[in-house]
Amino acid sequence: MNRRVVITGLGVCAPNGVGLSDFTNALLEGKSGLRYQPNLGKLGFGCQVAGEPLVKDQLIANYFTPLERRGLNATGIVYGVIAGVDAWKDAGLEKNITNEPSWDRGIIFGTGILGVDKFREAIHLIDEGKVRRLGSTSVIQTMASGISAYLGGLLGCGNQVTTNSAACTTGTEGILMAYDRISQGKAEIMLTGSCSDSGPYVWGGFDAMRILPRGYNDNPTKASRPMSATAGGFIPGSGAGALMLESLESAQKRGAHIYAEVLGGEVNSGGQLGEGSMTAPNSMAVQRCIQNAIRNSGITASDIDVINGHLTATSKDSLEIENWRTALNRDKGDFPYINSFKGSVGHCLAAAGSIESVATVLQFKEQVVFKNVNCEDIHPDILSVIPASSIPRDTKNHSPKVIAKASFGFGDVNACVIFRAFSKEQ
């Protein structure tokens, strides 16, 4: 069985916009969500810029009961619940309030690390001999699957409810996991997405690795510069993105709005061999991931007219562009549009793939290719491979037909998913 799978709902909690409307407007305008973080300055971080969603207490009250908010100290769960519930509502679905689980509906919602601040709170209480003050929610806030457990209970899902984790590839991998489950007839509707915590205890390790730029603390909106000659490293971010995947039959039966179709994709690893390592990609695996994603989706490389890359604003951006060119075997004058959203949201770690996939799919709805932010000075090594016209610095009026979205994560792991503009006849 290989059923068609479509996207019927989107939700997002991003540094440059919470909710689809704010997020879409920010992407159209190139609005940045990167800000100076005073707490990072006080703690002596070299890079004191980060992207963090602005979530007010009154908004949180719309998603959590007073009892659920008591002792809630896991930002990733907050972001994930907001994005996940919004995607569910955007798809026109109601929460299950019966006594029987929705057997054909499930959740695959990933994270990298969850509840860091709750862990810190728990460690202090335990070390002080106050274990009884931990509260009844400390476990669910700090277990990796806490986010899918929260959403599963809120929505009453009876199909697979689980959490995946693959570093920066998490969100994109989750889309393909949900796609497989629906296309194989094991579910009708799957909520998929990913989230990442905020704060110094998440971002500190990257600052210690000296892979974050240190020269933009006074100019935070210019700090993340994908594909730029003046790129100095990635800016850490956080948040969550969520997508509702559904069988075409189910969506049509409900009369649901369809954003796009998921054609398939590929997940692989470079094995940390050759040029691959814990933090660097193996080009052979990256190219193979892209090529197999195209093959598995039943299209050709020439069908792709837009790419949303991983492109983190590091020295590896040029290598990624070369890998795309090699994998697609497209001439320099025939290269698709390519963009990265990290110029405005930063690198949202485990949430990156899902937030960026929401933005990617919105391009079908808006019939545009969103601009690349902070890419006035394209790196010369990139210009030797693809033309400047493939890297829009202004939002382009273009109706995408097929978009390839990829993520390449720590641990030398890769994922590429292919989206297509929906048509009943295809």
What are 9's strand-pairing partners? Answer: 244
Cα gap 197→95, rounded to integer Å: 26
Residue 84 in contact with residue 163, Cβ under 8 Å?
Answer: no
Tell whether the model's pLDDT for residue 426 goes beyond 80: no
In 3D, which of 359, 344, 358 has the Cα closest to residue 226? 344
Strand pairing partners for 418? 264, 404
Confidence of residue 238 (pLDDT cuts 50, 70, 90): very high
Q: CB 128: neighbour CB atoms within 10 A?
A: 9
**CB within 8 A of 222, min separation 6: which ones?**
216, 374
HSE (side-chain half, CA atoms, 13 Å) at 320: 26
Least Cα distance to 246 among 80, 1, 64, 4 occurs for 4
Q: What is the pTM of this model?
A: 0.97
Identify the residue with better confidence: 302 or 135.
302
pLDDT at position 424 over 90: no
Cα–Cα dist 108/125, whole Å:
32
Q: Please report the pLDDT score of residue 266 as a whole number.
A: 98
Query: Which letter, b or e, does each residue of 314-338 get, where b requires 16 or more Cβ atoms within 10 Å of its Cβ?
Result: bebbbbbbbbbbbbbebeeeebbbb
User: What average pLDDT does the chain have?
Assistant: 96
- Mean per-residue pLDDT for 265-279? 96
Q: What pLDDT, on a 0 to 100 scale, did the predictor assign at position 132? A: 81
Q: Which domains does the chain have, with CATH numbers?
A: 5-254 (3.40.47.10), 264-420 (3.40.47.10)
pLDDT digits (tens, 9 = 90+) for 76-134: 999 999 999 999 999 999 999 999 999 999 999 999 999 888 888 888 888 889 888 88
- With both helix axes pointing from N to C terminus, report the angle between 283-296 and 317-328 in degrees, rounded to the nearest 10: 40
Query: Does residue 1 register a pLDDT over 80?
Result: no
The radius of gyration of the chain's CA atoms, rounded to the nearest angstrom, is 20
Nearest CA-CA partner of 75 in 45, 51, 41: 51
**pLDDT 10s digits, 378-410:** 999 999 999 999 999 999 999 999 999 999 999
75-90 vs 146-155: helix crossing angle, rounded to 10? 40
Does 418 score more than 90 pLDDT? Answer: yes
Q: Quick one: pLDDT at residue 91? A: 98
Q: Indicate the SS3 state at residue 395.
A: coil
> What pLDDT, on the 0 to 100 scale, is given for residue 391?
98
Lowest mean pLDDT among 14-23, 127-136, 178-187: 127-136
156's CB contacts (< 8 A; 6+ apart) are: 95, 96, 97, 98, 101, 102
